Amino acid sequence: DGIDLFRGRAVAAKKSAAGDGVILTAKGKEEKTFTCSVLLVASGRRPHTSHMNLEAAGVQVDTRSRLIVVNKQLQTTAEHIYAAGDCCTLQQFTHYAGIMGFWAARNLLLPGSGVPTHVVPRVTFTSPEVASVGMTEEEARSALGDSLRVASLPNSHNERAICEGDLHGFTDVFLDKKGFIVGATLVCNRAGEMLTELLVAMEKKVPFTQLSWTHVIHPYPTYSFSMMMLASDVLREDFDKSMAGRMSKWLVARS
């Protein structure tokens, strides 16, 4: 798409160019100058807690991140004060902040209720969309080692994606040795919507194979059909490794 990535560089200087342009000087292993027409600052957000003097109210603030420190009930170190949203979590998503506000209000009225879930969806609304939940593949490999199982399907194997020319993405689902979902990453035009099915499975601790064609019929042609295809592949692989599967192969070979 004509995008060049320059990583590991810090902007050292900025000045106006002719017209409405901008000239940036970036330093890394070597200094480099970039001339651009538009400068987009997308460096994320940090909580604006530095000048609130929260410590005077007994509210502890993390010195590095400036996040308000809360417990599992979203209660601060001042027992009568609760916090929610971007001021107390690194997962800065509108949907998460909204539900945290509800939890904080509930816990304020009914102390000790806790936070009911840690299954938090992450969606970046680029084109194509990027959606994920739980562990990344790198995190899952570090945590599970050789027991990690990756179920993967490229967009080019999904007929709806083919019809829409959305061929460069993929669906990856990460499973533990018992077949439960520990994370997923999706890249496609409908990634945000597709993720929801996996959220329910993770929250309700449903094995991934419960989404296969033997349990749930998915409409065709849809992006979500990929979930049924992947789950069915995992189910087939499990059957092939089972005693019944090996016996079936033996009988077929003898026939």
For 125-159, the pLDDT digits (tens) are: 999 999 999 999 999 999 999 999 999 999 999 99
Range of the domain at 140: 122-241
Q: Is 134 exposed, middle or buried (0-12, 13-18, 19+ CB in 10 A)?
A: buried
Inside any domain, residue 14:
yes
Inside any domain, residue 97:
yes
CATH number, position 218: 3.30.390.30
Total domain count, the chain: 3
| pLDDT value, residue 152 | 97
Residues 98 and 199 in one domain: no
Residues 220 and 141 in one domain: yes
Task: State whether residue 70 is helix, strand or coil.
Answer: coil
Inside any domain, residue 214:
yes
| pLDDT value, residue 1 | 63
For 79-96, the pLDDT digits (tens) are: 999 999 999 998 999 999
Residues 32 and 61 in one domain: no
Inside any domain, residue 48:
no
- The identity of residue 247, as a single letter, is M
| pLDDT value, residue 253 | 84
Q: Does position 115 have pLDDT exceeding 80, yes or no?
A: no
Q: What angle do CA 57, 60, 63 make, to 5 degrees?
A: 130
Inside any domain, residue 247:
no
